[in-house]
């Protein structure tokens, strides 16, 4: 198993999915779990400030996440909501919902079950999120924490929004990532932080391919790639610490 943590805009999703493919492993986007529950809360009309109501409602949400790295579908009550959970309304509300301790308790338990099933049935899984190495799977054989400057992450998020046809600007994207960083790192339940034994990779000056090479070699060093041949490391792949 590989635990891949870090704030938004660091390349976690693309790297995690591609790494899962190389490991012939399953893939789990825990952030999508929080987003689909957030979407359900928004649709229900529950006041986001009512943590008790939000927490109780989390037990009732009927959702499913696919773990195929090639097509990780997200369904709410059988409806495909993979695109809707990435919209601005959910993005704005996901941090407050994720900060509710009862929501995290419900979803962490489900994440652990999915991880155990994938390891037993398929041999492994790459899990991305914000508390995988610290809370969800502290015994993971490889923990990677991706970082990048706020400026770089804002530019990446703005490019993603533009590509998806959503209105955005670098300034608003930066406000969004900094706001989420602040909420995620200061929440009482499982705050965003690097596990003490994680390997930190700064992706600010790296392409996604370069990050993937670096993380793949880390997986190889932990014996997670078997006999697969090594890849050449791209020039300027950066320093791991």
CA distance 102 to 53: 10
Domains identified in the chain and CATH numbers? 2-221 (3.40.50.300)
pTM of the model: 0.87
For the chain, how far is it from start to end, CA to CA, in angstroms? Answer: 20
What is the C-alpha to C-alpha distance for residues 190 and 182, in angstroms, rounded to an integer? 13
Only one residue has tokens 């693309």, namely 14
Q: Confidence band (pLDDT; 50, 70, 90) for 175?
A: confident
121, 140, 123: which is closest to 131 by C-alpha?
Answer: 140
pLDDT at 5: 97
| DSSP state letter for 4 | E
Query: Residue 151: CB partners within 8 Å, gap ≥ 6?
Result: 174
Q: What is the pLDDT of residues 189-230, one digit of tens each?
A: 888 899 999 999 999 999 888 999 999 999 999 988 765 555
Query: How much of the chain exceeds pLDDT 90, in percent?
Result: 71
For residue 63, give the H/E element and its range.
strand 63-65
């Amino acid at each position: 198993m590989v635990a891949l943590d870090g704030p938004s805009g660091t390349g976690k999703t693309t790297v995690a999915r591609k790494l899962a493919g190389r490991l012939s492993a399953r893939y789990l986007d825990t952030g999508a779990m929080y987003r689909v529950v957030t979407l359900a809360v928004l649709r229900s009309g529950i006041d986001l400030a009512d943590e008790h109501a939000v927490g109780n409602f989390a037990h009732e949400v009927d959702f499913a996440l696919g773990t195929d790295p090639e097509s990780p579908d997200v369904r709410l009550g059988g409806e495909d909501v993979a695109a809707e959970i990435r919209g601005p309304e959910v993005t704005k509300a996901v941090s407050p919902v994720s900060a509710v301790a009862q929501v995290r308790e419900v979803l962490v338990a489900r994440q652990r079950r999915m991880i155990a099933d994938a390891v037993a049935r398929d041999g492994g899984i790459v899990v991305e999120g914000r508390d995988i190495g610290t809370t969800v799977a502290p015994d993971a054989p490889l923990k990677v924490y991706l970082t990048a400057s706020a400026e770089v992450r804002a530019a990446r998020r703005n490019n993603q929004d533009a590509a998806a046809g959503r209105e955005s600007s670098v300034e608003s994207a930066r406000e969004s990532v900094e706001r989420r960083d602040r909420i995620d790192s200061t929440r009482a339940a499982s705050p965003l932080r690097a596990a003490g034994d994680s390997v930190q990779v700064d992706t600010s000056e790296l392409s996604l391919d370069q990050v993937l090479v670096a993380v793949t070699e880390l997986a190889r060093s932990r014996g997670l790639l078997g006999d697969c041949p090594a890849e050449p490391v791209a020039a300027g792949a950066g320093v791991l610490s």
